[in-house]
A and B are shown apart, each in its own frame.
Chain A
Amino acid sequence: MPGLIVAFEKPGTQDFVWPTMFKIFGFPVNWIIVMAVVTIAVVTAFFYFGLRKAKPVPGRLQTMIEMGVGFVRDTIIMEVIGPEGLKYLPLLSSVFFFFLFANLFSPFPPNTSIDTRLAFPLVFALFIWGTYNVAGVRAQKRHAGLHGPLSYLRATGKYLKVQCVPSGAPAPILVLLVPTEFISNIIVRPFSLALRLFLNMMAGHMILALIFGVTMLMVDGAIFLKPFAILPLALGMVWILVEIFVALLQAFIFVILSSTYIASAISTEH
Chain B
Amino acid sequence: MAGIVHLAGALLAQVTTTGDGLTSVAKALVFGLATIGPTVGLGIVIGKAIEAMARQPEYAGTVRTYMFIGIGLIELYALIGFALYWIT
Judge: A and B partners, yes or no.
Answer: yes
Interface residues of A in 1-27 (CB under 8 A from B): 1, 4-5, 8, 10, 12-13
Report whether B75 and A196 are in contact in the complex, using a CB–CB cutoff of 8 Å. Answer: yes
Q: Which B residues lie at the A interface, using CB under 8 A?
A: 2-4, 6-7, 10-11, 14-15, 18, 61-62, 65, 68-69, 71-73, 75-76, 79-80, 82-83, 86
The answer for the CA separation of A257 and B4 in the assembled complex, in Å, is 44
Report whether B83 and A199 are in contact in the complex, using a CB–CB cutoff of 8 Å. Answer: yes
- Would you mind naming 27 contact pairs between A and B with Cβ atoms under 8 Å apart? A4-B3, A4-B6, A5-B6, A5-B7, A5-B10, A10-B15, A10-B18, A75-B61, A192-B76, A195-B76, A195-B79, A195-B80, A196-B72, A199-B82, A199-B83, A203-B79, A217-B7, A218-B7, A221-B7, A222-B3, A225-B7, A228-B4, A249-B68, A252-B68, A257-B69, A257-B73, A260-B69
Return chain A residues, CB-CB under 8 Å to B6.
1, 4-5
Q: Which A residues lie at the B interface, using CB under 8 A?
A: 1, 4-5, 8, 10, 12-13, 75-76, 79-80, 192, 195-196, 199-200, 203, 217-218, 221-222, 224-225, 228, 249, 252-253, 256-257, 260
The answer for the CA separation of A76 and B65 in the assembled complex, in Å, is 7
A-B contacts besides A5-B6, A10-B15, A252-B68, 9 pairs, CB < 8 Å: A4-B3, A4-B7, A76-B65, A79-B65, A192-B76, A196-B75, A203-B79, A222-B3, A256-B69
What is the minimal beta-carbon distance from B23 to any residue of chain A, in angstroms? Answer: 14
Return chain B residues, CB-CB under 8 Å to A12.
86
Report whether B79 and A200 are in contact in the complex, using a CB–CB cutoff of 8 Å. Answer: yes
Return chain B residues, CB-CB under 8 Å to A257.
69, 72-73
Report whether A203 and B82 are in contact in the complex, using a CB–CB cutoff of 8 Å. Answer: yes
Report whether B3 and A225 are in contact in the complex, using a CB–CB cutoff of 8 Å. Answer: yes
The answer for the CA separation of A217 and B14 in the assembled complex, in Å, is 13
The answer for the CA separation of A195 and B10 in the assembled complex, in Å, is 34
Return chain B residues, CB-CB under 8 Å to A222.
3
Return chain A residues, CB-CB under 8 Å to B3.
4, 221-222, 224-225, 228
- CB < 8 Å: which of B10, B14, B65 contacts A80? B65
Q: A13-B86, A75-B61 are in contact. Are A8 and B79 (CB under 8 A)?
A: no
The answer for the CA separation of A222 and B6 in the assembled complex, in Å, is 11
Report whether A8 and B11 are in contact in the complex, using a CB–CB cutoff of 8 Å. Answer: yes
The answer for the CA separation of A83 and B63 in the assembled complex, in Å, is 19
